[in-house]
Amino acid sequence: MAALSLYPTKNLGAVGEQVHRLRQYGWDAERRSLFAGINSRLDELQAAILRLRLAALEDGNAARRRIADLYDAGLDGIVVPPRRDHRSAHVFHQYVVEVEERDRVRDALAARGIATAIHYPVPIHRQPAYADRIPLAPGGLPVTDAVCARIMSLPIYPELPVHSANQVVQALCELLSNERAGTGPQ
């Protein structure tokens, strides 16, 4: 069994169109759910385009896996990588890693021309639309909050050149290995 999200940036994404907050989780520009929205975007034109794009999905997913393998090997011990489950084949819509001082690391990567993203900057239990709908213990979700402050997504898409993925690895290794050695970021 499989389920597909057809969001424009996903592995089998429909062509982009401007959507209103209601059609995208109730999000504002900072991806905060201000009210409970839905996730519904497919129309006949999107379906026709996706039918054609479906033929390339497996090749695209395989290309993403190759990039993820490169990241896994090159960043071993440098970042906390995405968790893989041997019982399934990850399609790596995103390659989300954990790093300390994430914002500083992102800025240093950006200065080298490497874009990163924070896809979900606010955990669901802190979203205004859902805060009262999720019963929490008095301490909240401290692990979730801590992890949310450390995660970022590295570039990953089927057409990403290997040399570009290697540049990401090299930059992160230089930035984070120097910190561990006590020489500071470059």
Q: Does residue 99 belong to any structural domain of this protein?
A: yes
Q: Does residue 49 belong to any structural domain of this protein?
A: no
Q: Which helix (H) or strand (E) holds 107?
A: helix 102-111
Do residues 82 and 71 touch, judged by C-beta distance below 8 A? no
Question: How confident is the model over 21-34, as pLDDT tens digits?
Answer: 555 667 777 877 77
Q: Does residue 21 belong to any structural domain of this protein?
A: no
Residue environment code for 6-19, b if the CB has 16+ CB neighbours within 10 A, otherwise e: bbeeebbbbeeeee
Give the side-chain half-sphere CA count within 13 A for 128: 10
Q: Does residue 94 belong to any structural domain of this protein?
A: yes
How many domains are there within the chain? Answer: 1
- Residue 82 is part of a domain; what is its CATH number? 3.90.1150.10
For residue 14, name the pLDDT band (cuts at 50, 70, 90).
low
Q: Does residue 124 belong to any structural domain of this protein?
A: yes
Is 180's pLDDT higher than 60? no
Is 52's pLDDT higher than 70? yes
Q: Does residue 108 belong to any structural domain of this protein?
A: yes
CB-CB neighbours of 33 under 10 Å: 20
Alpha-carbon distance 90 to 68, whole Å? 9
Helices 162-181, 57-74: crossing angle, 10 deg rounding:
30
Residues with Cβ within 8 Å of 87's Cβ and at least 6 positions away in sequence, in order, are none
- Give the mean pLDDT of the chain: 85
For residue 19, name the pLDDT band (cuts at 50, 70, 90).
very low
Q: Does residue 92 belong to any structural domain of this protein?
A: yes
Residues with Cβ within 8 Å of 164's Cβ and at least 6 positions away in sequence, in order, are 155
State pTM to two decimals.
0.75
Question: How confident is the model over 113-144, as pLDDT tens digits?
Answer: 999 999 989 998 888 888 788 888 888 899 99
Q: Which domain holds residue 88?
A: 59-181
Lowest mean pLDDT among 60-69, 99-108, 115-124, 128-137: 128-137
Q: Does residue 3 belong to any structural domain of this protein?
A: no
For residue 4, name the pLDDT band (cuts at 50, 70, 90).
low
pLDDT of residue 120: 87
